[in-house]
Amino acid sequence: MNKLKFIRELVKKEAKDHDWQYHILPVVVYAKKLAKIYKVDQELAELAALLHDIGRIRHGDLDHNLTGMIDAEKILKDNQYPDKMINQIKQSIKLHRASQHVRPKTILDKIIANADAMAHFDILPLFFYWRAKKHEFPKILEWMQEKINRDWNKKLSLPAAKKIIKPKYQAIKLILKACKQWE
């Protein structure tokens, strides 16, 4: 098995079903799409996308960009990836969260942050399902609104990513507005 395939299988095995299928996999697909547009190496983009949430998968949400850097480094080193690639991937993992004050710097950082946000727009009903277990309906609506606006305004920095997501952003906004009128 080649090393990229090995890492793909490793993440697939460790991520819970819904996380792989509805988050990691879409992030990989979007990252590769953006990498093609912005002329970034496909394997580099796929590895960064596969590993961007490894910290969350293994250790929980808190500071998962930082815990993820450490785990990603080990996984990539074990698979004999060159240091330059490892460092680029580590930085993109560190900077993938819009909630952090540091902004993505390189094109790879931006691709991962953008692909991460793009994936959210495809699984909104699933987010709804997860959140509904913990919150009242108006709170869920507020959270969804906050989430899509943060993704749209802060994470989607690449024009190509914004163009792909725009119809979904507008549709979601319209639906949220429709829901809110009954409050």
Q: Which residues bind Fe ion (CB under 5 A)?
A: 53, 116
Find the shortest distance in angstroms from Cβ 96 to Fe ion: 6
Report the alpha-carbon angle 10-87-23, nearest 5. 40
CA distance 131 to 137: 9
The DSSP code sequence of 42-89 is HHHHHHHHHHTTHHHHHH-STTHHHHHHHHHHHHHHHTT--HHHHHHH
Find the shortest distance in angstroms from Cβ 61 to Fe ion: 8
- The region that residue 135 occupies, defined by phi over 0 for left and psi between -120 and 50 for alpha, beta otherwise, is beta
Q: Which is nearer to Fe ion, 86 or 98 (CB)?
A: 98
Q: Which is nearer to Fe ion, 53 or 151 (CB)?
A: 53
Q: Which is nearer to Fe ion, 24 or 86 (CB)?
A: 24
Q: Which is nearer to Fe ion, 106 or 137 (CB)?
A: 106
Residue 172, H or E segment: helix 159-180
Q: Which is nearer to Fe ion, 82 or 125 (CB)?
A: 125
DSSP state of 113: H
Token pair recorded at residue 39: 């002329």
Find the shortest distance in angstroms from Cβ 56 to Fe ion: 5
Q: Which is nearer to Fe ion, 116 or 151 (CB)?
A: 116
Find the shortest distance in angstroms from Cβ 55 to Fe ion: 8
Find the shortest distance in angstroms from Cβ 49 to Fe ion: 9
CA distance 1 to 7: 10
Q: Which residue's structure tokens are 């079903």?
A: 17
Find the shortest distance in angstroms from Cβ 131 to Fe ion: 16
